A = this chain, B = another copy of it.
Amino acid sequence: MLLNEMSKDELLNFKNSQQQKYDEYKSMGLSLNMARGKPCTEQLDLTLGLLDAVHSESSLLASDGTDVRNYGVLDGLPKAKVMFSQMLGVEPDEVIVGGNSSLNMMYDSVVRNILFGTDGESKPWKEYDRIKWLCPSPGYDRHFAICESLGIEMITVPMLSDGPDMDMIERLVSEDETIKGIWCVPMYSNPTGITYSDEVVKRFAALSPKASDFRIFWDNAYCIHHLTDTPDKLLNIMDELKKNGKEDMIYIFASTSKISFPGAGVAAMAASKKNIKYILSKMTVQTIGPDKINQLRHYKFFGGYDGLVEHMKKHTAVIAPRFKVVIDALEKEIAPLGIGTWHNPNGGYFVSFNSLNGCAKRIVSLCKEAGVILTSAGATYPYGNDPDDKNIRIAPTYPSLDELKTAMEIFVTAVKLASAEKLSD
């Protein structure tokens, strides 16, 4: 029976029974964490061999004869560039292979444009009184934190089932020269789990922004992170941009953080040759170059892009059952009551749950009191402000299956209780 079709008495009984159940969970003093998209220990163990891939007997010369231990090679080892070029769908000379954090490469890319502009010709973004950024939401809180920290005004753009609202994006960028960028997680979007349709990608590639220095920040973090045998497919945006002569409009990012080790993976970015040349001209002042030994370690362990893709099947085997626990709990306990919606993703790291309006904060708070930590309600929106107070990001990968089952029991109980409270208001 749908909760909003219950009589007043039925709703009161329902609420009381959920309250009782919740109090029982609360008394158990649990400590479970579904807050961050963090791989579990089983996943980390899948690449233990990476630690042995470069050892004291290994050849430490790159294909061009460079000693990977010494200084130099700002744009990354040639073989690592090839590996990431295939992952990112670009040419090897459109790639910079960096350190361990793609977030760091994104942050630095925004800061670089603030300080210097995008190409040495257009003016540095710092010379504007204020610049703005488009933020498809629900989205990734760490993207939004970069804008907030740097004083960039964020404009929320609704996420639809096939990508962000392109009508709104096309209109806004064509009108406002101070809109300088947009955050996109085009595949298995964080947190909604959807993949941009071919039409959405084509519309991105055809954008005609008023600002010539507008940049799409294409964070393809989950490009090979499938959960099923029927993965989503994402159109290659660089190919589409090149067809339109607009390849300077994009920066693409990815890393092995959720393939090898979150804290010790390898990150990369891709951009047009013109952009790469300009970026390297600034990076050469910033750093002595990336950790090439770790790049070699990754190349040797995976043996190239095909090895990366193959390896991801092992991750799927570990985490797909976790996603099933989440989806099963929601389908069994929430669907019949009509008090929430979600998308069952084919990949990525999250299940994005939408409660009844005005319930997300209450649900997250109830869970927290019962020892289940979720991403803060609102975190998936700019300035932490979810206008409907309904979106909650569930990250199922880190807890064990048993922990996750318990955590989801508590979660659905909290959803039921908060919904009953709301409806009986």
Interface, chain A (partner B; CB < 8 A) = 36, 38-39, 41, 44, 48-49, 51-52, 54-56, 58, 60, 67-73, 99-101, 103-104, 107-108, 111, 114-115, 126, 142, 145-146, 149-150, 257, 261-264, 282, 285-294
B103, A264: Cβ atoms closer than 8 Å: no
Q: With A and B bound together, what is the CA distance between A36 and B70 in angstroms?
A: 12
Residues of B within 8 A of A288 (CB): 100-101, 103-104, 257, 262-263
Given A52-B56, A58-B51, answer yes or no on A291-B70 (Cβ-Cβ < 8 Å): no
In the A-B complex, the 5 residue pairs with the smallest Cβ-Cβ separation, listed nearest first, are: A264-B293, A104-B287, A48-B56, A69-B261, A149-B285
Kindly provide the distance from the CB of A196 to the nearest chain B CB, expressed in whole angstroms: 24
B101, A262: Cβ atoms closer than 8 Å: no
Kindly provide the distance from the CB of A220 to the nearest chain B CB, expressed in whole angstroms: 17
Residues of B within 8 A of A291 (CB): 99-100, 263-264, 291, 294
Question: Main SS of chain A's interface residues?
Answer: loop
Contact of A70 (CB < 8 Å), options: B38, B69, B72, B285: B38
Given A71-B36, A288-B257, answer yes or no on A115-B111 (Cβ-Cβ < 8 Å): yes
Kindly provide the distance from the CB of A71 to the nearest chain B CB, expressed in whole angstroms: 4
A52, B49: Cβ atoms closer than 8 Å: no
Residues of B within 8 A of A111 (CB): 111, 115
Residues of B within 8 A of A68 (CB): 263-264
The complex is assembled from copies of this chain, and their number is 2
A263, B71: Cβ atoms closer than 8 Å: yes
B103, A263: Cβ atoms closer than 8 Å: no
Residues of B within 8 A of A60 (CB): 44
Q: A260: nearest residue on chain B (CB-CB)?
A: B69
Q: With A and B bound together, what is the CA distance between A42 and B257 in angstroms?
A: 33
A69, B290: Cβ atoms closer than 8 Å: no
Kindly provide the distance from the CB of A38 to the nearest chain B CB, expressed in whole angstroms: 6
B69, A263: Cβ atoms closer than 8 Å: yes
9 A-B pairs within 8 Å (CB atoms) are namely A44-B67, A51-B55, A51-B58, A101-B287, A103-B286, A107-B285, A111-B115, A261-B293, A262-B288
Kindly provide the distance from the CB of A295 to the nearest chain B CB, expressed in whole angstroms: 9
Residues of B within 8 A of A52 (CB): 55-56
A41, B67: Cβ atoms closer than 8 Å: yes
A69, B55: Cβ atoms closer than 8 Å: no
- From A38, A69, A115, A292, residue with most partner B Cβ within 10 Å: A69
A101, B289: Cβ atoms closer than 8 Å: yes
Q: A103: nearest residue on chain B (CB-CB)?
A: B288
Q: A107: nearest residue on chain B (CB-CB)?
A: B286
Q: With A and B bound together, what is the CA distance between A52 and B57 in angstroms?
A: 9
